Amino acid sequence: MAHIKLTEGLPGIRGLFAFRPETAKPLCELAEVLLHQPNSLSAADRELIATYVSSQNDCFYCQASHGAIAAHHLEGNETLVAQVKESPAVAPISDKLKALLALAGKLQKGGKHAQHDDIENARRQGATDLEIHDTVLIAAAFCMYNRYVDGLATWASQDLNSYRERAAAVATGGYQRIPGAIG
């Protein structure tokens, strides 16, 4: 049971958005810019970073929902999502994304864990300043979203199909319409 009284049946962060629309608005806008708006990193790459950090933070709801959105962007390749969560270094992804996931993994542990070498490695694989910035902020933001979802003990469906069904709408329509759709 959640630590505070939330609308029944709204899973994870969606129950919290309905409880507090004033904070839902900037939280959704941030996800929209980082994960959905045009970027030199594909939407799939960015969702994989979000999923990996959520997995490292052991947040079931966030890794299931963003993992499903990542898989949707990857034509349903759930195996790749599982491989990235398991070990980004050996997953069949580009060297640049491996370097950015390594950086995101450092951020998950704490800001000071990101060292000069991690940045240089990403840059050698072709990452731009903007891509490095966005990777750092995606990882930092999911350290927030994950703590928000688990810190209030929100309910999460165990049925993975429910995440697959929702993923298409978010992958296509983005995050900004979410608060309105609930409220």
Partner 1 sequence: MPHIQLADGIPGILGPMLFRPETAKPLNELAEVLLRQPSTLSPGERELIATYVSSENDCYFCQTVHGAVAAHHLGGDEELVLKTKANPSTAPVSPKLKALLKIAGKVQKGGKSVLSEDIDQARQLGATDLEIHDTVLIAAAFCMYNRYVDGLATWAPDDPEMYRAQGARLAEEGYVSSTEGVGVGTH
Whose CA is closest to 85, among 99, 69, 64?
64
Q: Which is closer to partner 1, CB of 20 or CB of 79?
A: 20
DSSP string of 109-169, one letter each residue? H-GGG--HHHHHHHHHTT--HHHHHHHHHHHHHHHHHHHHHHHTT------HHHHHHHHHH
- Could you say which residues in the range 44-83 bind partner 1, by CB under 8 A? 57-59
Minimum Å gap between C-beta 80 and partner 1 is 26
State whether residue 75 is helix, strand or coil. coil
| Cβ–Cβ < 8 Å for 112, 95 | no
Ranges within 9-48 binding partner 1 (CB under 8 A): 16, 19-20, 22-23, 25-27, 29-30, 33-34, 37
Distance (Å, rounded) from C-alpha 77 to C-alpha 174? 20
* Contacts to partner 1 from residues 123-182, by CB under 8 A: 129-130, 132-134, 136-137, 139-141, 143-153
Instruction: Give residues in contact with partner 1 (CB under 8 A).
Output: 3-5, 16, 19-20, 22-23, 25-27, 29-30, 33-34, 37, 57-59, 106-107, 110-112, 114, 116, 119, 129-130, 132-134, 136-137, 139-141, 143-153
